[in-house]
């Protein structure tokens, strides 16, 4: 059974008996709408499994805290924009849908890589950060500026 353990007017965080949590969109939102604004409870110099990378050497613990329960998907419906500090809908999202984002869109190298079970036909399998993505995946997804900068640096180094 799942119970609501956190959230706000637009997001419900549900947790099941195994302790697995997911964040659902509580109210339907349209493509490009802002689902939430976020800030930092704390800024760290190194990533951990809860942080979101916002710059070359900045990793934040999210405020409000319940945003940390937004899981990864290889077919995400929201984007964490770390310049505007807003979570933006990538498409129309119905009330009750789980919100998910593509972790490598913010993370260069993840503290805990994992084998993705998102079930998408486009699932990439191992998720370890933008540094480990192939050219195909880099074409397919949107990334934040600090990730685009690292990709450009890497290209320049290889040239
Ligand atoms: Zn996946």
Q: 49-80 pLDDT, tens per residue?
A: 999 999 999 999 999 999 999 999 999 999 99
Using a 10 angstrom Cβ sphere, with 0-12 exposed, 13-18 middle and 19 or more buried, the burial of residue 152 is: exposed
- Measured in angstroms, how far is the CA atom of residue 153 from the centroid of ligand 1? 27
pLDDT given at position 37? 98
In the predicted structure, residue 159 carries a pLDDT above the cut 90: no
Residue bearing tokens 């930092």: 40
Segment 135-142 shows an average pLDDT of: 96
Segment 95-117 shows an average pLDDT of: 97
**Each residue's pLDDT tens digit, 7-46:** 999 999 999 999 999 999 999 999 999 999 999 999 999 9
- Measured in angstroms, how far is the CA atom of residue 127 from the centroid of ligand 1? 8
Confidence of residue 144 (pLDDT cuts 50, 70, 90): very high
Q: How far is CA 131 from CA 10, 108, 109, 137, 140, in A?
A: 32, 5, 6, 11, 15
- Measured in angstroms, how far is the CA atom of residue 25 from the centroid of ligand 1? 20
Segment 120-125 shows an average pLDDT of: 96
- Measured in angstroms, how far is the CA atom of residue 159 from the centroid of ligand 1? 31
- Measured in angstroms, how far is the CA atom of residue 122 from the centroid of ligand 1? 7
Segment 120-147 shows an average pLDDT of: 97
**Mean pLDDT score of the chain, rounded to an integer?**
97
- Measured in angstroms, how far is the CA atom of residue 76 from the centroid of ligand 1? 9
For the chain, the structural domain boundaries read 30-91+100-158
Give the H/E segment covering residue 11. Answer: strand 11-15
In the predicted structure, residue 152 carries a pLDDT above the cut 90: yes
Segment 101-118 shows an average pLDDT of: 97
pLDDT given at position 133? 97
Segment 127-145 shows an average pLDDT of: 97
- Measured in angstroms, how far is the CA atom of residue 73 from the centroid of ligand 1? 5
- Measured in angstroms, how far is the CA atom of residue 133 from the centroid of ligand 1? 13
Q: For residue 40, count other CB atoms closer than 10 A to its CB.
A: 16
């Amino acid at each position: 059974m799942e119970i609501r353990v956190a959230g706000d007017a637009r997001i419900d965080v549900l947790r099941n008996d195994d302790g697995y949590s997911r964040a659902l969109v509580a109210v339907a939102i349209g493509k490009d709408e802002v689902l939430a604004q976020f800030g930092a409870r704390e800024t760290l110099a190194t990533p951990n499994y809860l942080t979101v990378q916002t710059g070359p050497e900045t990793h934040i613990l999210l405020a409000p805290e319940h945003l940390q329960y937004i899981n990864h998907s290889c077919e995400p419906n929201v984007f964490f924009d770390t310049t505007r500090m807003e979570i933006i809908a990538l498409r129309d999202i119905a009330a009750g849908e789980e919100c998910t984002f593509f972790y490598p869109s913010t993370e260069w190298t993840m503290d805990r890589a994992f084998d993705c079970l998102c079930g998408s036909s486009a699932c990439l399998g191992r998720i370890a950060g933008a540094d480990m993505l192939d050219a195909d995946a880099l074409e397919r997804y949107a990334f934040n500026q600090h990730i685009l900068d690292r990709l450009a640096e890497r290209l320049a180094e290889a040239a």
